[in-house]
Structure 1
Amino acid sequence: MGEEVGDASLEIRQVDTSSATINILSAEYDPTEPLINSNEKWVEEHEVCRVVGTSSLWRATFNTVALLLGTGMLALPYAVILGGWSALALLAFFAIMFCYTGSLLGQCMDQNPLLTTYQEIAGSALGLRGRILAGVLFYTEGLGALVCFLISVGDNLARIFPGVNSHLPAWVQFSPSMTLASLALLIISPTVLFRDLSDVAFLSFGGIVTSLVVVGAVAWSGSTVVGFKQPIPFMNLGNWRFILGLYAYGYAGHPIVPNIYSSMRDPTKFRAMLILSFTITTVIFSVLALLGASMFGKETLSQITLNIPRDLTAATIALWTTVLTPLTKFPLAIASIATELERFLPFDSNSTLHYVSSYTMRLAILGFVLAVTISFPNFGSTVNFIGASMTITTCIILPCVIDLVLHWKTISKVRMMVNIVFLAVGMCFAFAGTLSSGKV
């Protein structure tokens, strides 16, 4: 809605986050125009205010850790076996890079209160093309994550229900894991049709709890039955290129970082929150990686839950947790993608044709995810590919480019060198990891 106040035309835009509603006042501002040209002066000349959120430091930390902990952590013990326990230094290096580039996004929002999303930040530096690129990366990575979720669901269900194909018609040619993944997707398909996300928002709650349940189940299995006796190599440097995407995928989440920034009561604590969040996450990742690798050694699979002896209660808990948690993410993830695509529908938003098209689109996205999953059913290779090709681009390369474009005249030489180094490293990691992803 708009309101004339003096000579300025003010527009109120509303952004919903997990803990607050933020109102941004703008006056004929186009975030797709490069900020380095005229918009920086525009921001200085107009009184622009951001109504901050209500999240404390600790609540924002909880939300960020919940964002980072996910299915990707299941592959970390496998990564340690491939690269050696010294490869945990590489994991820590990824944490530092991702934490730093996340803070760059926060600094962009500090200097321009009109920016509220990852796409707007990219657009402010690179124009409309940057905004489109950021959107494409975001939604492509989101679809890739759903593929990883579904592969994990199928593999873990096959562990719970072995021999399921023996009870199905002979014409079913899928593997047991893909058969069960298809059935699981069919069961949850009605939930992706919800248009009011508040109806399914509760499904995303508890990400930290469920992730810690998996870590606890692995630790319990090792301490009671399996033991921690398997040797872990010190270093397999030649294999490090195979684990770049696995590590990167674990820290994916930068497109949501601006929402967390906006939700904070005191945004000046944003950097401290990121440091705390990435520290906690890296500790959890490292513990799970070392526990799993020392339990199963060279027999470690790309999902540590598949290694736990099936007759243990801890295995049942871990397997079902690993199945149910990803399935709860489908409604919100598909809704976020479909909502963007619905803007291009040529029908009135309240018309029957719009609703029918919307439901068809959501089911089509679900079908696309299933088709890709069936075509590429290897969990480790898929995670590595998405992490190397998309996550590194979204979370390392693009933020460094944005900061260099927007602030190259004002930042210190140290910050400029860090940006250039991380940009070069990110490009090398993305190239090497993507080429090696099929061999994981």
Structure 2
Amino acid sequence: MAHLKQTFSSLFNCFRETPSLFFRMVRWDSCLHTDEEHVNFARRDELNRALTKETEESDGPVNFELDVCHQDPEYKSPAPLPHAQVKLITSWEAGWNVTNAIQGIFVLGLPYALLHSGYSGLLLIILAAAICCYTGKILIACLYEENEDGQLIRVRDTYEDIANACCKSLPPRLGGIVVNVTQVMELIMTCILYLIASANLLSYSFPHVPVTAKTWSVIAFVTLLPCVFINTLKIVSKLSQLCSLVHFIIILVVMTYCLTQIHQWSWAKFRLSIEFEEFLVSVGVIIFSYTSQIFLPTLESNMKNPEEFSCMMNWTHFFACVLKTAFALTAFLTWGEKTKEIITDNLPSFLETLVNLCLLAKALLSYPLPFFAATEIVYSCISRGNHSKYRSPLFSLGVRGSFLLLTLLMAMFMPHFAVLMGLTGSATGAAMTFLLPSLFHLKLKWKKLSILEKCADISVFTLGFLCSLAGIVCSIKRLLTVFGGV
């Protein structure tokens, strides 16, 4: 547990110099500029035709409930995925994936964040939910353009396509390459974090077993081997549903114990004054506990009813906001100044063991979502074009197997990984969550945006730039300190 706590502590400290701004509340329903009930969303024509043809030959006709419009003639669809990967998911399944992303490990740090932010922390939890929901929707809005009839037509398919559309004046595909590299780096780092957390939790749950940390990493790796056979987002959605269930059990256990201590609660434990440096820690933890933008293009493109995406984002972020507020509030009121960075460390020993086993299950079940997203990005880039050998199931299996092995090797042998992950997260997390969605939205939709929407995008872009810059500087300082440079 000491290793796990050290890892979390390093991540919390990475946000220590992250700047904060007051967020502006924006309308959640203003991301798309027409009534969704009267807009026909376009799907990928080539992919739908292939799916319909294959399914008619094997299982009979497919009945899609979407009106498919013609795509932009200049739009080039990426290489089609293997047949199993074109199974579409429902809005509920997409919602479970988003819930898995925004109800992650950082939730356990929210009571500690509240300790250093006081009443302003409660406001930050609400505003962060609104801002992250907004940036997720404007990112997806960049995938669509209106035709002459006012219908929204899907002219782009991925984050890469959006970047290429915004960087036409640069060398060909440079914008897309940068975005893809950034996405894959963050997703790999996320996978490695889950693997490290799983190994540490195994070590702590079975302290009397004479096994080294690297051996526990291999054991956790073995339990994740079935991930190489996951070739459809439907399976990932089911695992995300189980992960969310485990998460709710953790929250329920902690909150139930806190409610038994209600006689000790006192609102006087909240701070009216805050220290700026400590407040920055809270801002970083709260904001980055809501990030899911990196998964959204993949999720939305695999939804049966993409017109329900906006509604799905609303209820997932609203529910997450309510749950996080209740969890952070009850935990902080229970322990006050004694609140620790990982709230499970405050629990009695018999509950702590139960919660740690649940955390182990949550870490293992959280791994498939970023793993699937990363491998799909790489597979799509490699198989683009007419190279049929890159589209075989065997090659896809090889890509996933290579990525799984890479995460194990980095988790086992990379020194000071937590610090390096802090650097990567500061550079890529803020960029993918705040900076790029707002920048792309301004670039592609400038003429159609209202003044309020332009101001909102500019504010979010400024926030993303400052967070990314300060986080990089902070992480580089810590890297130099760790490696003895200063």
TM bucket (normalised to shorter chain) is 0.7 to 0.9
Q: Within 2, Cα distance between the matches of 1:126 and 1:366?
A: 32
1:322 lines up with 2:359 in the alignment: yes
Deviations 1:183-242 (A, max 9, x none): 442332532432645796443332332221111011122234697548343433331222
What residue in structure 2 maps to residue 276 of structure 1? 315
**Count of matched residue pairs:** 393
Contact 1:245–1:433 (CA under 8 A) maintained in structure 2: no
- RMSD over aligned CA atoms reads 3.9
How high is the TM-score relative to the length of structure 1? 0.74
- In the TM superposition, residue 334 of structure 1 has moved relative to its aligned partner by 3.0
Distance across 2 between alignment mates of 1:293 and 1:383: 28
More RCO (CA 8 Å, sep 6+): 2
What do the CA deviations read for 1:69-123 (whole angstroms, capped 9, x no partner)?
2222122122222333422322322222212212212322342412232222232
Alignment of 1:194-343 (within 5 A): 194=229, 196-197=231-232, 201=236, 202-224=238-260, 229=265, 231-234=269-272, 235-262=274-301, 267-268=306-307, 270-312=309-351, 315-342=352-379
Q: Is the contact made by 2:228 and 2:397 (CA closer than 8 Å) also made in structure 1? A: no
The one-letter code of the counterpart of 2:229 is F
Residues of 1 paired with 2:65 and 2:377: CA distance? 20
Change (3 A) 1:152 1:195: closer
Residue correspondence of structure 1 range 35-434 to structure 2 within 5 A: 55=90, 61-111=95-145, 112-127=153-168, 128-162=173-207, 164=209, 167-168=210-211, 178-179=213-214, 181-194=216-229, 196-197=231-232, 201=236, 202-224=238-260, 229=265, 231-234=269-272, 235-262=274-301, 267-268=306-307, 270-312=309-351, 315-342=352-379, 344=382, 348-349=389-390, 354=395, 358=399, 361-371=402-412, 375-377=416-418, 388-434=426-472
**Structure 1 residues 232 and 361: CA distance shift in structure 2, 3 A:** same
220-229 or 239-248: which moved more?
220-229
State the distance in 1 between where 2:100 and 2:449 align. Answer: 32
Task: Note the C-alpha offset of 1:279.
Answer: 1.7
AA of the residue aligned to 1:138: Q
Quote how far apart the aligned CAs of 1:179 are: 4.8
SS at match of 2:47: strand
SS of equivalent residue, structure 2 residue 434:
helix
| In 2: Cα distance, 1:268 partner to 1:198 partner | 19
Change (3 A) 1:284 1:30: same
Alpha-carbon shift at residue 151 of structure 1 (Å)? 3.7
**Percent of aligned pairs with the same residue?**
20
> Cα 1:181–1:130, aligned 2, differ >3 Å: closer, same or farther?
farther
Cα deviation digits, residues 7-59 of structure 1 (max 9, x gap): xxx9603599xxx8987854652469xxxxxxxxxxxxxxxxxxxx7845x66
Alignment check: 8 A CA contact 1:67 1:207 kept: no
Q: Answer yes or no: is the 8 Å Cα contact 2:224–2:364 preserved in 1.
A: no
